[in-house]
Structure 1
Amino acid sequence: MSVAVVFPGQGAQFVGMGKDFYDKFSNIRDFYSNADRALGYSLSDIMFNGPENDLKLTQNTQPALVTMSASIWSLIKDKVQPAFFAGHSLGEYSAVYASGGLSFEETVKAVHNRGKFMQSAVPVGAGAMSAVLGLDEDTVSKVCAGISKADYVVEPANFNCPGQVVIAGSADAVAAADVELKTAGAKRVVPLPVSAPFHCSLMQPAKEAMAEYLNNITINDLNIPIINNIDAAVEKSGADVKNALIRQVAGTVKWTQSVENMIAAGVTSFIEVGAGSVLTGLIKKINKTVETINISTVDDLGKL
């Protein structure tokens, strides 16, 4: 049996996240105090007590999710021998941390800055994202390509699972695509409550800022390979990891292909570590035969 450990991305957060682990395990508390110290404010208070609007601010959401994933991983890492790590969007940073590419404090600071860069790349309200349900990747890509032009951008942002593609771009262009995608056969097109259009070319300013940030820190070669988002490719070199993290900001998250590539490489079980169970649900839709476990609460530890 070959195992992959995967880490969730933005959208999985919730007020109270990680509090049961914090209360039960003294070593978990170190992660939260270290995150607070690294950021210079009480991220843990926002995670445990909210308000939800503060937790939903991208520069808080991203380090919150990394902190929860990293702390849970510390509890189970001696029980699991993964063949691969992977993470959805932001979750790729948790994967890099878990494989020794960055320290915890470096990871938290990097994603806090990533959140700020992504939020400031596009004025609030100027961008949008929608989930397209019941339509294949090629059709979604073709419809977007037929609409998109300079200053009127709409592109695939996430290939999440068969029949679920997220698009992102200029608010007007996304709205136009929503209509055309329904005409093309989409069962539903659902506008998403996001503050910026992630993973599309409108994120170019954030990509450039993240490149400058990451080029000033060292990412070590990894102990265990990750499957990156941008190419769905296997990586162990720190230089390749950094390059992929930079390209990922303004590029499509190829989650379906990432999971398929891990299964093709022999993975039969996936363990999702962190808030919620979004990735577990997506993986089941990609391949019904693999085993899936999610560790999001203390009670979930019994699943191992």
Structure 2
Amino acid sequence: MRRIAFIFPGQGAQYVGMGKDIVEKYEIAADIFTKASNAVGYDMKKLCFEGPEEELIKTENTQPAILTTCIAIAKVLEDKGIKADVSAGLSLGEYAALVVSGALSFEDAVALVKKRGRYMQEAVPIGKGAMAAILGMERNTLLQVLKQVQSEGIVEAANFNSPGQIVISGEVKAVEKACEAAKEAGALKAVLLPVSAPFHCSMLIPAGEKLAGDLDRITINELHIPVIANVNADYYQNKCQVNELLIKQVSHSVLWEDTMLRMLEDGVNTFIEMGPGKSLNQFLKKILKKSKHNAEVYSIEDGESLETVLNSL
């Protein structure tokens, strides 16, 4: 029996032109872009299809742009009869999962992530925070390394993406020291990331506090499709958890590897990543290789990949 998960990427996957050919072919996708434009107050098609890139990569623009592209693809699949049995998204992608579940309206979600992006950027002055990818190191070993360098400042695990790929986040000096210590402890690589803020660490708590006020002002509905949250790799039990978990998510680790393993253990055997890039596909293949599970893994980011999935399923 096929059990399908819709999974959605986070910030960093964006590129000029994303979603264009899907919008040109499917009216239901075009409608989503129109709704997004009305909700955020600018032309979402123009931003996504034409850029310029320097506008698209601004955090408060990137987040609604990726969310819009993800939901446009999801709506086409649903319209063609392909439904999710469960959903999840990495960081920003969790909002797409909650839209698919019915917990959030798309219009509320796209306006919300625009503010979320601005709050995350404003929480830490540019140049004070950093993030780095640590490759080829076990989770527990890296956590010990982070403890050893805490005297240098804030540095925390931000994303547990897949076996051997963990992202750290915090103050510049502490992150740089952690990179050196990780390599000395056996990491294959430690690479500073070109990001504008130290996402998913305690330095972002003020952003979550601002987001809380906006969440209080929107309607949260019961979930019609199970969604697994980033912060605990567990299912939302009811709509009352949505505000709490989305606020925490801004400043807590993203347990993506744990989330995918939970889905696999619960019988998911078909994963469809939708949105720009193929990062979740790559993470999942590493997770599958290390685990005892098997699954079909698809990515949809353009018309060609969409047709492939429609023909396969």
Structure 1 residue 64 and structure 2 residue 62: aligned? no
Residue 273 of structure 2 contacts residue 299 of structure 2 at CA under 8 Å; is this kept in 1? yes
Q: Secondary structure at the match of 2:269?
A: strand
The structural deviation recorded for 1:77 is 1.2
C-alpha distance 21-81 of structure 1, shift in aligned 2 (>3 A) = closer
Residue 229 of structure 1 contacts residue 254 of structure 1 at CA under 8 Å; is this kept in 2? yes
The structural deviation recorded for 1:26 is 2.3
Structure 1 residue 77 and structure 2 residue 82: aligned? no
The structural deviation recorded for 1:145 is 2.0
Residue 223 of structure 1 contacts residue 236 of structure 1 at CA under 8 Å; is this kept in 2? no
Number of matched pairs: 303
Q: Identify the match of residue 95 of structure 1 among 84, 93, 97.
A: 97
Q: Where in structure 2 are the equivalents of 1:108-123 lying within 5 Å? A: 108-123=110-125
- Equivalent residue number for residue 302 of structure 2: 297
Whole-angstrom CA distance in 2 between matches of 1:184 and 1:215: 45
Offset from partner CA, 1:146-174 (integer Å, 9 cap, x none): 2225x810000000000000000001110
- Give the structure-2-normalised TM-score: 0.94
Q: Secondary structure at the match of 1:4?
A: strand
Offset from partner CA, 1:9-45 (integer Å, 9 cap, x none): 1111101111111211223222112111111122321
Whole-angstrom CA distance in 1 between matches of 2:31 and 2:44: 13
Whole-angstrom CA distance in 2 between matches of 1:80 and 1:126: 45
Whole-angstrom CA distance in 2 between matches of 1:172 and 1:98: 40
- Equivalent residue number for residue 40 of structure 1: 41
Whole-angstrom CA distance in 2 between matches of 1:141 and 1:216: 37
Q: Where in structure 2 are the equivalents of 1:231-246 lying within 5 Å? A: 231-246=232-247
Offset from partner CA, 1:113-171 (integer Å, 9 cap, x none): 0000000000011100000000011111111122225x810000000000000000001
Structure 1 residue 139 and structure 2 residue 141: aligned? yes
Q: Secondary structure at the match of 1:174?
A: helix
- Equivalent residue number for residue 211 of structure 1: 212
Whole-angstrom CA distance in 2 between matches of 1:122 and 1:184: 29
Q: Secondary structure at the match of 2:166?
A: strand
Identity of aligned residues (%): 45
Offset from partner CA, 1:193-241 (integer Å, 9 cap, x none): 0000000000011011111211222211100110110000011411112
Whole-angstrom CA distance in 2 between matches of 1:144 and 1:120: 25
